[in-house]
Structure 1
């Protein structure tokens, strides 16, 4: 019996797993079955298996139906031209073949020939109506903005589907139900009629099951995000959670939206809450745990490794009885192992990460995530050829990811067709919005390599415009922050604190504007036998975060840099001891360890307060080249300190802020920093290397000039550059883009203005609070009171100062005055359980039992988890 009609019916109904089983059962295959087997593999994402099926086939021996199926496989594999060739040849033999016309329409659509595609789809429908063709034509009307035609076609489609639906398996019928509901929403969105969409969703809630309605909301939120309407997308998901607070997929999607917009803390809080709602091991819980580990890794959280380890443990504990199929368990374990390897790589556990990736690839050959992760690991470690081989393999499995990885490693496609296909992919809407900015920036680099500078800039400009919609960067706020830094780190700060800081010369800081040449300078220094290059460390930003955390804990109302005047010798000794231990752990035998975090140019004042003898190398470069390089780079920290990089005017202002800060530091510390010009390093590498080594205080070693051969991890955007010998092509690159530099020049040369700093308090001596606490513990209440009064004279709202003073007054018998101070302090730090307990005791001592009982009641609620729950609810409701 001829099985091909049945197999093709399975393909048309998208039952690809069943098609795979049926084809396997029918082995050995005739050519038509072989093509359908390849089609099943391609639809299921197994690209290499699909190619293997086609290897022995001769298209000339296939009948028209089989060639039409073969064209579908080629289309799925990204070979649009080959699919077109097959279909056009078959069309000459069978001009009225409905499926052929539909697939030819798909080819034309991929080539952006929308008019031809529409005509082909309409011809196909006239010959033989198919629900998939109806849906594709509807999407085309939406894309073209032909909304009236879309409404009419949707009515036709729904009528056809009502008659056709009974012929389909239940799972596929439900899938098409979802597609049609989604297309209804797309028409509303295309008409910019969110009110109509909301009203229709409300009506659907009464008709659909909880799961179907929440799935519809997820699709709606994704479509909103694809149009750049991220706030509306979040609102839709929150609406779903209000009705169905235990729908875990809603939390996951909300977390993904938070990540896209640069809010990793909120994303992690949402996933933590979802995990609390899913205590049992299930595939859905595992997906959440893996996602949480991935976000923690992206955010450089120290929890990433622990979370990824937990995810792998949960994956290994999953059994088929836990609502999980064997395939889900196998896939979950592979994903968890990839997540763990990624976290290990982030923590510079390179051997462990490599072993993990290799194990996954041994068990799951060609798994794209493992190929990409291991390739990037090899690239960072200087194993370029091995990385490129992996990216080439990745290209076969996932052409877009593979080409993107190769472009990132500066291996560019040589044919226009590939670049054009990648550009089409870059403009496919996704969670980031209507385009994929990162892929556009990679394509900009490819066109720059081909010296088509107009095309390169247009792509970079489009990517930057898309990125700006998701950024919260405020150039005026940054300028004001820089002014505050200069104000806080004044000459008087250091004059009033002589002898403060650790005299160690272990730390060396290489800093400057991103893309100024800091990685090259560090790589040269790291070639010295007594110097270790540790890369971009978060040590100084970590100190700043710790200071701000303490100020929040104390309720001082201050942050960094205001609080630096309160750094006592004891506190500085503790901070620097911890920093030195961490640096020594990187390279126990090194005399010097280099931290090359570029934006430490903002933190020179704090560095000199902590380590007065630390060596600081300031790297400078032609600001126009810095600007263009920043504009063409997809920074991982785009939502952090590098948000300015997506607007040439912002870059200009940032350059001006950097120059003013460096002028300020040179005024404060004349002759104590070494300035190095990137262009000079390129022109006179030995001379500049000798200058740097002399400044640091180590003897000359010619090996430092062999920096491209240095085997050490490099994780910055310059990873590929430091593996190359010195080259001159990066000099004066700005000349190719001169006509576009107007905003940059205006931003750089505009007057630097900021609001006067009138609210920054200068404490006369540091450590008043910690000294008062020590005196209090020693029962020296009068002396402690004097220190606290002095502190509150300068900072009258200081929560800890007021609360401690209240404790002293209560101890002295001044109950009402003491309670008033304690209440004032506690009002700013209601989370402090110790303060709550002390205030309750003070109330009881004063006979105010009603107040004590009320505070106890509120405290009990918080102890039962109200505080934590409120934090995560706040993340969702805000």
Structure 2
């Protein structure tokens, strides 16, 4: 980001900093910023901005700090100012696109990514993110076209092919597949790209009906991923707010934390505890929470409901976790005796405000599809006694196998081993059984197999009975809804319901012994 030392007359009572002083102030501010001394950095950037309003480095770096702290609207204003005065700044255009994306303003994000691509055509990340934004908007053919252009660049070819394989395995050519296979077998290739190549090969081979070969590719990809859990599998972005930074536990540590959390929450959120605190939550019925395991059919539920004119889907949002962080009953500063009667209502108000900051508009109902919120159902009930809580359920083996077949960008450390993911599933069902015991009937269990086998009647039930919404025919045409969708199932939800994924596990049955053993009571019988 270059500095522009021209000043605007009348914009400040102080004289502009000369070039040397300006350079020194920006250098010191950047040092503070890099070291995490954000208050000192902001003070210096703001001083520069006041003295030299046309020194665009100051608002640019202030915008990045806004992103760091989730002040996306403020970041947007600053970046628009910068790009208006310096339309040739690639960094500012890319950052603007990122912020628009995070605010859910996808058409504008696509335009900004296109401008970034035009400024630096050889930067692969801009094209990858442009393709991703087009995917989110359901413009899959355009996304594949962008990726095909990128595949012509030698340094980015594999990344592009991998993304095409994720979107449309049938679009992969024999030459593409050969490149993936060579990379997967090359011990000198970066391990992240080898892992991604193996998962892509698994998808392609499965589409071709070569199930033993597909499983071998998935298994090797999972083995490498589990051994190299901290290695990035995607190129890092130009800006990286804390929420975008990837932090991995080891699979063993992740499993221990999950087991401890299930035990802690079950012991704390008991029926008497809930009874003592009921009645102090929000009267709002706006939130619709979708919880469960990854790859359980949750995106289909959100797509159906978001097709309703009164419902907005927000995808997976961290709003609830951020709202509850450090607060009773999980904080250290408050006890049951000291919390205010309106504690849970205040949490509810703060949560809704976070959703608005993330782009919830005027629709009366809003969907939060952060699946891991199944851990917080008791708190959700206390915050929103009138909210809908949907539990997406799918056949246990299909759920676990789908997770094993998916390379996640972050988290999900227990999905890279059949035994690990089976144990995770058992703990998750233990948590759900606890909620059914202490809050009987509160959670609506939605079975994926029933929904896809009888969509007409089950979709109507989902809308009218489970969510208490007035019927709208658009819910049956959910695949035509062009709302933004950020999910691993991005291609599937743009199609009518299909049943080909039911009992997918039988194609791989002879390989799944460790999963059956780990699932215990949830393993298939006979």
Please tell me the TM-score bracket, short chain as reference: 0.7 to 0.9
Task: Mark the CA change 1:485 to 1:551 in structure 2 (over 3 Å): closer, same or farther.
Answer: closer
- 2:256 corresponds to 1:476: yes
- 2:152 alignment partner in structure 1: 396
Query: Looking at both structures, which has the greater relative contact order when contacts are Cα pairs under 8 Å and sequence separation is at least 6?
Result: 2
Do 2:308 and 2:474's aligned partners in 1 also have CA atoms closer than 8 Å?
Answer: yes
- 2:514 alignment partner in structure 1: 743
Q: 1:422 aligns with which of 180, 185, 193?
A: 180
TM-score by length of 1: 0.47
Task: Mark the CA change 1:514 to 1:608 in structure 2 (over 3 Å): closer, same or farther.
Answer: same
Q: 2:490 aligns with which of 693, 700, 719?
A: 719
- 1:836 alignment partner in structure 2: none
Hey, what's the Cα distance between the residues in 2 that align with 1:651 and 1:565? Answer: 39
Task: Mark the CA change 1:581 to 1:481 in structure 2 (over 3 Å): closer, same or farther.
Answer: closer
Do 2:93 and 2:112's aligned partners in 1 also have CA atoms closer than 8 Å?
Answer: yes
The secondary structure found in structure 2 opposite 1:547 is: coil
Task: Mark the CA change 1:584 to 1:312 in structure 2 (over 3 Å): closer, same or farther.
Answer: closer
Do 1:507 and 1:583's aligned partners in 2 also have CA atoms closer than 8 Å?
Answer: no
- 2:275 corresponds to 1:505: no
- 2:102 alignment partner in structure 1: 346
Q: 1:437 aligns with which of 191, 195, 198?
A: 195
Alpha-carbon shift at residue 523 of structure 1 (Å): 0.8
Do 1:413 and 1:446's aligned partners in 2 also have CA atoms closer than 8 Å?
Answer: no
Alpha-carbon shift at residue 420 of structure 1 (Å): 2.2
Hey, what's the Cα distance between the residues in 2 that align with 1:564 and 1:686? Answer: 47
Do 1:500 and 1:610's aligned partners in 2 also have CA atoms closer than 8 Å?
Answer: yes
Do 1:501 and 1:569's aligned partners in 2 also have CA atoms closer than 8 Å?
Answer: no
- 1:666 alignment partner in structure 2: 436
Hey, what's the Cα distance between the residues in 1 that align with 2:205 and 2:450? Answer: 28
The secondary structure found in structure 1 opposite 2:515 is: helix
Alpha-carbon shift at residue 310 of structure 1 (Å): 7.7
The secondary structure found in structure 2 opposite 1:511 is: strand
Hey, what's the Cα distance between the residues in 1 that align with 2:121 and 2:34? Answer: 34
The secondary structure found in structure 2 opposite 1:508 is: strand
1:442-489 CA-to-partner distances (Å, cap 9, x unmatched) read 221111111222222222222222222224232233112101111111
Asked which structure has the greater CA Rg, the reply is 1
- 2:479 alignment partner in structure 1: 708
Hey, what's the Cα distance between the residues in 2 that align with 1:305 and 1:426? Answer: 42
Hey, what's the Cα distance between the residues in 1 that align with 2:175 and 2:363? Answer: 51
The secondary structure found in structure 2 opposite 1:714 is: coil
- 1:177 alignment partner in structure 2: none
Task: Mark the CA change 1:339 to 1:400 in structure 2 (over 3 Å): closer, same or farther.
Answer: farther
- 1:591 alignment partner in structure 2: 364
Q: 1:302 aligns with which of 49, 70, 81?
A: 70
**Further displaced range: 563-572 or 384-393:** 563-572
Task: Mark the CA change 1:577 to 1:735 in structure 2 (over 3 Å): closer, same or farther.
Answer: same
- 2:402 corresponds to 1:629: yes
Judging by fraction of residues, say which structure has more helix.
1
Alpha-carbon shift at residue 660 of structure 1 (Å): 1.3
Q: 2:347 aligns with which of 541, 557, 575?
A: 575
Alpha-carbon shift at residue 311 of structure 1 (Å): 8.9
Q: 1:687 aligns with which of 457, 460, 463?
A: 457
Alpha-carbon shift at residue 581 of structure 1 (Å): 3.7
- 2:270 corresponds to 1:490: yes
Hey, what's the Cα distance between the residues in 2 that align with 1:605 and 1:722? Answer: 30
Do 2:277 and 2:382's aligned partners in 1 also have CA atoms closer than 8 Å?
Answer: no
Task: Mark the CA change 1:272 to 1:312 in structure 2 (over 3 Å): closer, same or farther.
Answer: farther
Hey, what's the Cα distance between the residues in 1 that align with 2:426 and 2:76? Answer: 42
Do 2:324 and 2:347's aligned partners in 1 also have CA atoms closer than 8 Å?
Answer: no
Hey, what's the Cα distance between the residues in 1 that align with 2:436 and 2:388? Answer: 13
Task: Mark the CA change 1:477 to 1:546 in structure 2 (over 3 Å): closer, same or farther.
Answer: closer
Aligned pair count reads 451
Hey, what's the Cα distance between the residues in 2 that align with 1:589 and 1:708? Answer: 23
The secondary structure found in structure 2 opposite 1:376 is: helix
Structure 1: stretches of 5+ with no match in the other structure: 1-247, 253-267, 319-328, 557-562, 752-878
Alpha-carbon shift at residue 750 of structure 1 (Å): 7.8
The secondary structure found in structure 1 opposite 2:138 is: coil
Alpha-carbon shift at residue 364 of structure 1 (Å): 4.2
Q: 2:413 aligns with which of 643, 659, 675?
A: 643
Hey, what's the Cα distance between the residues in 2 that align with 1:565 and 1:378? Answer: 51
The secondary structure found in structure 1 opposite 2:477 is: helix
Task: Mark the CA change 1:718 to 1:293 in structure 2 (over 3 Å): closer, same or farther.
Answer: farther
- 2:434 corresponds to 1:657: no
Task: Mark the CA change 1:438 to 1:547 in structure 2 (over 3 Å): closer, same or farther.
Answer: farther
- 1:370 alignment partner in structure 2: 126
Hey, what's the Cα distance between the residues in 2 that align with 1:564 and 1:540? Answer: 20
- 1:527 alignment partner in structure 2: 307
TM-score by length of 2: 0.76
Hey, what's the Cα distance between the residues in 1 that align with 2:215 and 2:131? Answer: 28
1:364-394 CA-to-partner distances (Å, cap 9, x unmatched) read 4565332221111011011222212212212
Task: Mark the CA change 1:536 to 1:700 in structure 2 (over 3 Å): closer, same or farther.
Answer: same
Task: Mark the CA change 1:432 to 1:612 in structure 2 (over 3 Å): closer, same or farther.
Answer: farther
Do 2:278 and 2:382's aligned partners in 1 also have CA atoms closer than 8 Å?
Answer: no
Hey, what's the Cα distance between the residues in 2 that align with 1:431 and 1:502? Answer: 54
**Further displaced range: 515-524 or 479-488:** 479-488
Hey, what's the Cα distance between the residues in 1 that align with 2:371 and 2:290? Answer: 7
Do 1:441 and 1:634's aligned partners in 2 also have CA atoms closer than 8 Å?
Answer: yes
Q: 2:297 aligns with which of 508, 517, 522?
A: 517
- 1:539 alignment partner in structure 2: 319
1:259-294 CA-to-partner distances (Å, cap 9, x unmatched) read xxxxxxxxx966879x98xx999xxxx9xx99x969
Alpha-carbon shift at residue 436 of structure 1 (Å): 3.1
- 2:468 corresponds to 1:697: yes
Do 1:430 and 1:436's aligned partners in 2 also have CA atoms closer than 8 Å?
Answer: no
Hey, what's the Cα distance between the residues in 2 that align with 1:500 and 1:725? Answer: 42
Task: Mark the CA change 1:717 to 1:564 in structure 2 (over 3 Å): closer, same or farther.
Answer: farther
Task: Mark the CA change 1:495 to 1:363 in structure 2 (over 3 Å): closer, same or farther.
Answer: closer
Alpha-carbon shift at residue 629 of structure 1 (Å): 0.8
Hey, what's the Cα distance between the residues in 2 that align with 1:571 and 1:342? Answer: 35
- 2:385 corresponds to 1:612: yes
RMSD: 3.7
1:478-534 CA-to-partner distances (Å, cap 9, x unmatched) read 112101111111011022224221122111111111100000011111111222222
The secondary structure found in structure 1 opposite 2:325 is: helix
Task: Mark the CA change 1:692 to 1:650 in structure 2 (over 3 Å): closer, same or farther.
Answer: same
- 1:461 alignment partner in structure 2: 219
Hey, what's the Cα distance between the residues in 2 that align with 1:465 and 1:305? Answer: 42
Do 2:280 and 2:342's aligned partners in 1 also have CA atoms closer than 8 Å?
Answer: no
Equivalence map 1:246-261=2 (5 Å): none
